[in-house]
Structure 1
Amino acid sequence: MEVIELLKELLKFRSITPDDDGAMNYITLFMNEFDAKLLEVNGVKNLILTKKFGDGAHLCFAGHIDVVPPGQGWSSDPFEPVDKDGYIYARGTQDMKSGVAAMLQACKDASSFDGTLSLIITSDEEGDGIYGTKEALKYLQEIGELPEFAVVAEPTSFNKIGDMIKIGRRGSINGVITIKGVQGHAAYPSKCINPIHQASAVLANFAGYDMDAGSRYFDPSKIVITDIRGGMEVCNVTPNELKIMFNIRNSDLTSYEDVKQYCEHIFNGLDYELTLKESSKPFLTDENSKIALNLKSSIERICGLTPEFSTTGGTSDARYFAAFGVPVVECGVVNDRIHAVDERVGVSEVETLYRVFSDLISNFNSVN
């Protein structure tokens, strides 16, 4: 089977998070020369495929089979792949069944490798992501088979296949500050405690504030206010409280504790409550690590261009590999239509990605 044929088969599964719709069974049969372990946790299926060729390094490819709901307005059935003008249209073409197809086909076709090849495929990346890749890695750690290097086949390219490798991701911290006041008549402000007035005195040092100056691969960790609300939408009553919601996509230079301390500094003296939630931690893989250098070399050979190392974008399951101490990079197709109506991927992109992964496997030990 060729990689495009495999991709079309994967696209037919209505694998909306966390339902794999039978895709895991299909993949297990397709990868029949690999040892398979299906790990199901709270309704989430995680497939671990392993094949040992030798005693060298353990290289893992990872991705998710689940997709977001298709939504309305498609030009064709989102779960019936359509070929048109060099593209394949269907939900999940870019995010990320193209990456899954490329890594599956490359590993299946590998005739030799000085070490162990494995794949982790989850059905819970587009959802909460807490019972997916994280649980698979926990299991592998428990049995002493944690991979030494990893590639997550997320759609990372910007304009052209291979032009960007993600070597890290920013973290994400959500916050809610509720400033308490005393409601009253607007005509008698001295009898009220107006939380809006109190907040206005400090917001200039909070809204849009850079928690750090950024670094070579990370933009500054900026406080971005996403919502402010309070009051009863009338002109003659001051509010009882004011709620400010914000998000920080933080680099490795700013921690959860840094954010907490800054909030306490800014709102000191006010009657307020602070809630912070860290949904993901930032990570950065050394650009000179074996996995980064090998993947860069493979892209240069196959694509004829030098990829940019980047940390842009949201979160991905690569963060879980980093949390387990596994050097990880991300590489995939162009991501201009992820989660969109009429999502599509270029046929040539998928074929090129397959060749990149195959080259990486063949030459993994050529760069130290």
Structure 2
Amino acid sequence: MTRATILDYAKRLIAQPSITPATGSVFDEMEAMLAPLGFEISRFIAGDSPEDAELGGPVENLFAIRHGAPGSRHFSYAGHLDVVPPGQGWQTDPFVPEQRGDLLYGRGAVDMKGSIAAFVGALHHLPDDLGTISLIITGDEEGPARFGTVAIMDLMAERGITPDLCLVGEPTSVNRLGDMMKIGRRGSVNMWITVNGMQGHVAYPHNADNPITKLGKILSEIDSLQLDEGTDWFQPSNIEFTDLHVGNPAHNVIPARAEGRLSIRFNDRHSGESLSAMVKEIVERHGGELKPIISGEPFLTPPGEFSDIVAGAIREVTGVDPELSTSGGTSDARFLAKIMPVVEFGLCNATMHKLDEAVAIDDLEKLGEIFALIVERALR
């Protein structure tokens, strides 16, 4: 693996500020890296109407494909060029990549421009006729994810393209490169609860209707739910309250409205719809209203040929036997898993979304080696 090539690619991507939703120069760099390798590249903007701005648009996307022989297998890599805001307090400019010792610093070094750089670097070491290879690269994984990967999937469907396997290059490693890969993720649903009452004086409660009391009963009943005890591959589903709001500035006034918010991360014993219906029954029984938004359903790629290929490549390069996990938050794999087997593997996630995000340069090189082995063995 050409260490200098991968490091250069990572620096070029980090140097392009691409806070979600990302468009423009970072995709120019991506296209410039792939075009000399024989890829057909499609770039497009999704979510560009005025009303889409509230949903995270506009977003740029890129789909690149290099066709193999007719009938050959199709391997796809998925990733995102958008990054979270860097925040204040960095030692150096987060969008000026800086190499200090054995580390490369910059926003996106781990999540996930470093991974994308490693995959493109790996392509230099693969024969052109190995099989069909594609890249699904979005600009809004860190945002609402309304106009990114799902829009690329629509484009692929229009063209009759369905890869046989997909590797999502998210940072999955924990303590050292290769110690964890993901074969699934839990689902996610967020819910907003509103309880309307009647404003009044606290000394005359019979002339008012206190919504806080009702909301308290709702939250207590929801909190008492035990959804499950986990499954063979998933941890137990959990309900977490994430916000309470009344906004009452007066100590002697019963408010007219109370609001709450909760989030449920759930395994494959449930669906977003079934959980929404369960909570809705509780909320409405106490006179409230519920607005659920399902971020993603759980998915699982059962251990088998694909996970064995990924794990084998990791062991060969690093000497580490990876844990097969479904832990963590959501990723765009939740969309891609609807049409093909998906495994996630990438860099160590210790500094992602943090100040002074950094990646070990040696890990970039090894990740490129792992990616090359995975693609070659998957397309044999």
Shared fold per TM-score greater than 0.5: yes
- Indicate if the aligned counterparts of 1:14 and 1:20 stay in contact, CA closer than 8 A: no
Could you tell me which amino acid in structure 1 is paired with residue 370 of structure 2? V
1:232-247 equivalence runs, <5 A: 232-247=248-263
Q: What is the alpha-carbon distance in structure 1 between the residues aligned to residue 32 and residue 207 of structure 2?
A: 73
- Indicate if the aligned counterparts of 2:116 and 2:169 stay in contact, CA closer than 8 A: yes
Structure 2 partner of 1:305? 320
Match of 2:306 among 275, 280, 291: 291
Number of equivalences: 364
- Indicate if the aligned counterparts of 2:99 and 2:105 stay in contact, CA closer than 8 A: yes
Q: List, as ranges, runs of 4+ consecutive aligned residues in structure 1 with deviation greater than 4 Å.
A: none
- Indicate if the aligned counterparts of 1:173 and 1:278 stay in contact, CA closer than 8 A: yes
Identical counterparts, % of pairs:
37
Could you tell me which amino acid in structure 2 is paired with residue 304 of structure 1? G
Q: Do the aligned partners of residues 128 and 2 (structure 1) sit closer, same or farther apart at CA in structure 2, a change above 3 Å counting?
A: same
Q: What is the alpha-carbon distance in structure 1 between the residues aligned to residue 88 and residue 206 of structure 2?
A: 53
Counterpart of 1:26 in 2: which secondary structure? helix
Could you tell me which amino acid in structure 2 is paired with residue 165 of structure 1? M
- Indicate if the aligned counterparts of 2:199 and 2:210 stay in contact, CA closer than 8 A: yes
CA-to-partner distance for each residue in 1:270-320, whole Å, 9 max, x for gaps? 2221111112222111122x3222111111111111111112222211112
Q: What is the alpha-carbon distance in structure 2 between the residues aligned to residue 83 and residue 68 of structure 1?
A: 21
Structure 2 partner of 1:319? 334
- TM-score by structure 1 length? 0.92
Q: Answer with 337-346 or 46-55: which moved more.
A: 46-55
Structure 1 partner of 2:344? 330
1:188 aligns with 2:193: no
1:45 deviates by 2.2
Q: Do the aligned partners of residues 178 and 72 (structure 1) sit closer, same or farther apart at CA in structure 2, a change above 3 Å counting?
A: same
- Indicate if the aligned counterparts of 1:169 and 1:284 stay in contact, CA closer than 8 A: yes
Counterpart of 1:145 in 2: which secondary structure? coil
- Indicate if the aligned counterparts of 1:210 and 1:220 stay in contact, CA closer than 8 A: no
1:229 deviates by 2.6
Counterpart of 1:227 in 2: which secondary structure? strand
1:79 aligns with 2:95: yes
CA-to-partner distance for each residue in 1:78-127, whole Å, 9 max, x for gaps? 12211113100111101111110011111232125642111122222222
- Indicate if the aligned counterparts of 1:294 and 1:360 stay in contact, CA closer than 8 A: yes
Structure 2 unaligned segments of length 5 or more: list them: 49-57
- TM-score by structure 2 length? 0.89
Structure 1 unaligned segments of length 5 or more: list them: none
Q: What is the alpha-carbon distance in structure 2 between the residues aligned to residue 264 and residue 336 of structure 1?
A: 37
Q: Answer with 126-135 or 343-352: which moved more.
A: 126-135
Structure 2 partner of 1:16? 19
Q: What is the alpha-carbon distance in structure 2 between the residues aligned to residue 128 and residue 272 of structure 1?
A: 26
Q: Do the aligned partners of residues 231 and 40 (structure 1) sit closer, same or farther apart at CA in structure 2, a change above 3 Å counting?
A: closer
Q: What is the alpha-carbon distance in structure 2 between the residues aligned to residue 186 and residue 76 of structure 1?
A: 54
Q: What is the alpha-carbon distance in structure 2 between the residues aligned to residue 339 and residue 294 of structure 1?
A: 29
- Indicate if the aligned counterparts of 2:82 and 2:142 stay in contact, CA closer than 8 A: yes
1:246-257 equivalence runs, <5 A: 246-257=262-273
Could you tell me which amino acid in structure 1 is paired with residue 286 of structure 2? L
